[in-house]
Chain A
């Protein structure tokens, strides 16, 4: 079993057997990061560029650690310190760095399709670490990995994704991945943050959190950004919190053995209370650890698919 593509651009086109392969592979890497010496020689001689056009803490560190633990050489690019501020285009930036003979690019960019654009102008394997509001496949993979570790399956579970659906690439990738793996998916957020024709995703759509959480197994809470309120999409943070904050009282609506997730960074007391975030059902830090294993798996599987000349 192999991945079909030499890139990971999103989960919409990724099949169930490919997702299963990535998650299964991640299990063995998960074991490696529990060892005293957390390093394997798998990617020795492979150079990976972490190309981050948007600010990121956890995803960038997670990828970098994953690369280092696989013995790859890594270079980090961040927009603020680069020639982009001198007006260099994405294409030229990448071609210049690629001329230094790199093999893989992990890219985060504010434009939908930027990772696809890179597949057309470079020879490297491209891993999407978040493009615009489009996809963030490794985040969804690590979310699924975390769920699967707890329940031993994804199929038949009810997962609720709460928050800013309109602007969230994490929600989009989770929708594709979870649906493909046979989970039942619900989304919930203020109607101004549900994008046009959202029901076409083939998920249950809610604007009342109590209804969305009723009978669910997993609640994955997304960060709400202050700038959305400033753009007039909802009246105040106070009202958002009243309507959409995952509180201890609301947990009663969930099935037994429920799970609380958040991709971070959290606004404690806004979309999730500290009490819930720090509770025994919360796997928020586990997600972070698992993220490394999943990214190691993705890097490993794609590195085996170098350019077919």
Chain B
């Protein structure tokens, strides 16, 4: 029997590929885990695919077909806290949220501060439902004292370095890290919160924090941390990426630095463009505890504004699984972080697209080609011969976030019970369907 010309055909969807500037109805053809072409179906191709088994044809009528989404900021907890998440379960969650690529942060136990651990993570990810890229540590054990073997990390496969979860508090160390990383042309991802200014803080410093009597993590702590790193980057060169920007002051600092030509990029998380700190006092839900904390309406508006004007390049989930036992405690005793891989797409649609801030193309750009360029990853586009990572989105599908439906091993979402619009319909990794709704 003649081998079929295509392994997979996605027909009649609206294809959105910001990298190609493509945005119209078309069919996507996949062969050998690669994109063969995107085209309007001709009579000849119709005939060609008529021989294909039914399961190799996906009818995407009324759906959006986009490059596989990339989440450049997740915590997969392996090695060390496999009770919260493993690389396999985290990637199942990614697939269920429409992400074909995730970048995992190094604050595991032990930390990903050496080549062996990078290789361990990559080996664990071989059969996972998403591609995993590793972000290595800036400093040994993320202690902010001595540089990790950055060259070795990169040689092992790390695509960036970060001490995420902690700020590199010593400016001399950060300066040297930026300088040193230049040799490998990788970005440094900064978790920008000055530790002296937030010591012991559990929520935003604001009237809400004052009313509840909770120790604050002031916005100025993030602003100062961003300004310092931006100035260091301007001074020594290198590439700086600011993780999870949460304050009006920090987005303004980034906007200004970009205008000056500093090589800085930045991301925003769904909880920072959605939630405000007055939610906390309602039920003291520990799932609302996150670093940096959820802020005020003014900050949310500024984050959205800078997503719109492009000062914030990417949308990332900062997926941070924690066990129910650890989260089901008093608010200030709970660990910080919330899961996000499975709610990001719905929140982007509901909070940004439906409210008229971003078009689908703008939103997809921030979850595909932008992170791919920053980290120099393959993918992020449906260009001919690129890897067949594809996300098919049901753009107006209404759904309710339910605890029992999470594929992640952890359930610590602040959005349980929320009604969202927009959901992944099908996730394809290297031509293989890894999730179908």
Contact = CB atoms under 8 A, between A and B. Distances in A.
A265 interface: no
B210 A195 contact: yes
Nearest to A119: B283
Interface stretch (A109-117, A236-244, A252-260, A286-294): A109-117
A196 B283 contact: no
Interface in B126-146: none
Interface of A: 12, 89-91, 109-114, 116-117, 120, 132-135, 167, 169, 172, 195-198, 200-201
Given A111-B333, A112-B332, A196-B218, A169 B206 contact: no
A167 B207 CA distance: 14
A200 B296 CA distance: 15
Interface string B232-270: 000000000000000000000000000000000000000
B214 A132 contact: yes
Contacts of B329: 89-91, 117
B207 A134 contact: no
A58 B258 CA distance: 59
B116 interface: no
A122 B231 CA distance: 52
B328 A113 contact: no
Interface of B: 205-207, 209-214, 216, 218, 281, 283-284, 325, 328-333
Contacts of B332: 110-112, 132
Contacts of A113: 212, 281, 284, 330-331
Given A90-B330, A117-B330, A132-B332, A112 B212 contact: yes
Contacts of A167: 213
A184 B209 CA distance: 24
B209 A114 contact: no
Contacts of B284: 112-113, 116-117
B283 A116 contact: yes
B213 A197 contact: no
A198 B210 contact: yes
A91 B210 contact: no
A9 to B, nearest CB: 11
A70 to B, nearest CB: 29
A109 B206 contact: no
16 contacts: A12-B211, A90-B330, A110-B332, A111-B333, A112-B213, A112-B331, A113-B212, A113-B281, A116-B283, A116-B284, A132-B212, A132-B332, A167-B213, A169-B213, A196-B205, A196-B209
A110 B333 CA distance: 10
